[in-house]
């Protein structure tokens, strides 16, 4: 990629990042649960657990934390997970682009990713 194109793409990436908004770590998944009533069907039958409920799962330090969300919360914060996913894509692209520019400036041959 020519350097001028790389700089243009870098500006586009930065512009998109600046418009992203809040980005939540972890993921939003649908999870079924068991309640604390010993006689409830959820205790004995895996097919009859409660839910699924939207749940936010993330790592905090070396622990995995789960928080169950209401449908309204899942709807409200869903886009924040999308933002985080897009941010990671853009950061990955910016890193790859930077490696390309560095290789071009230094006259290095860039290793190509393996073909699948």
- Point out which residues bind Zn ion (CB under 5 A): 35, 40, 42
The residue with tokens 């520019």 is 101
The residues, any chain, with a CB within 8 Å of residue 61's CB and separated by 6 or more, are none
Shortest gap between Cβ of 55 and Zn ion (angstroms)?
A: 16
CB 64 to Zn ion: min, Å:
23
d(CA 34, CA 103): 55
Q: How far is the CB of 92 from Zn ion (least distance, A)?
A: 42
Comparison of 13 and 42: residue with beta carbon closer to Zn ion: 42
* Contacts with 107 (C-beta within 8 Å, 6 or more apart), sequence order: none
Give 30 or 102: the residue with its C-beta nearer to Zn ion.
Answer: 30
CB of 49 to Zn ion, least distance (A): 7
Looking at the Cβ atoms of 14 and 35, the one nearer to Zn ion is: 35
Q: For residues 18 and 39, which CB has a smaller minimum distance to Zn ion in the complex? A: 39
Name, in order, each residue with C-beta under 8 angstroms of 33's C-beta and a sequence gap of 6 or more.
Answer: 42, 49, 50, 51, 53, 68
Helix (H) or strand (E) holding 95: helix 71-106
């Amino acid at each position: 990629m020519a350097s001028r194109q790389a700089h243009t793409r870098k500006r586009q990436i930065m512009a998109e990042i600046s418009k992203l908004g809040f980005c939540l770590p972890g993921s939003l998944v649908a999870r079924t649960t068991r309640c604390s009533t010993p006689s409830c069907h959820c205790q004995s039958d895996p097919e009859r657990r409660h839910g699924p409920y939207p749940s936010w799962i993330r790592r905090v330090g070396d622990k995995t934390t789960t928080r169950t969300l209401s449908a309204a919360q899942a709807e409200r914060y869903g886009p924040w997970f999308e933002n985080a996913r897009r941010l990671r894509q853009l950061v990955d692209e910016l890193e790859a682009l930077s490696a390309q520019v560095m290789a071009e400036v230094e006259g290095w041959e860039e290793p190509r990713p393996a073909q699948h």
